Amino acid sequence: MTNSRGWSLVEVLIVTTVAAVAGGLLINLMISSNRLFFDQSAHITQGLALNQTELELTELIKSSAGIAVQYPVSGTPQYTSNSNTLVIKLPSLSSAGDVIESVYDFAVVGPDNVNPAILRKQIFKDASSFRKTENKVLSTNLSNLTFNYLDSSNNATSPALAERIGFSIELATKSGFSEKMSSGSGTVNLKNL
């Protein structure tokens, strides 16, 4: 004999409610997990870009033979040293990697001319130099970049007279309705002055 007794209305309601709550919690968990993932991924990506940028900037400034007012040094400037672009004079290198006296390559670090969210490092070499040319994107999320030109007493001075460079970088990424920011800063002495 089969049991033909069905679910009571109360049982059905309880099961439905439990299922709805459990489902809602699971969907909420998935959404939260995704949001956390994208938020943290943005921070991590920014952190990696910041590390790389700060390291490359530090090495460039340390090795530089001075800050150039503009590049090219004569004629119409393509790049000018100012509060958000840095034009660095680098000693040219021979095939043996030694400094060639009185010959210079140039590095430009600053926002891309077309898309200011792109932070770009470019190296332009003298014809006699064996330094590698570069055109490298350091970040695609640049929000703010500031260079401060300082003398040995940390007073503000013109780029041509700078003995130390202070820099601050802010990267920003859209994450849903919010914006994630990461920032870094430093001050580096020009070792070749």
The contact set with another protein (CB under 8 A) reads 2-7, 19, 22-23, 26-27, 29-30, 33-34, 36-37, 40-41, 44, 47-48, 51-52, 54-55, 58-59, 62-63, 65, 91, 97, 99, 101-102, 191-193
Least Cα distance to 50 among 186, 184, 174 occurs for: 184
Instruction: Report the residue number, 50 or 87, with the smaller CB distance to another protein.
Output: 50
Minimum Å distance from CB 126 to another protein?
14
Minimum Å distance from CB 22 to another protein?
5
Instruction: Report the residue number, 75 or 97, with the smaller CB distance to another protein.
Output: 97
Instruction: Report the residue number, 99 or 117, with the smaller CB distance to another protein.
Output: 99
Minimum Å distance from CB 8 to another protein?
12
Minimum Å distance from CB 92 to another protein?
11
For 151-168, letters b (16+ CB in 10 Å) and e give eeeeeebebeebbbbbbe
Instruction: Report the residue number, 77 or 186, with the smaller CB distance to another protein.
Output: 186
Instruction: Report the residue number, 43 or 116, with the smaller CB distance to another protein.
Output: 43
184, burial (CB in 10 Å: exposed 0-12, middle 13-18, buried 19+):
middle
Minimum Å distance from CB 89 to another protein?
11
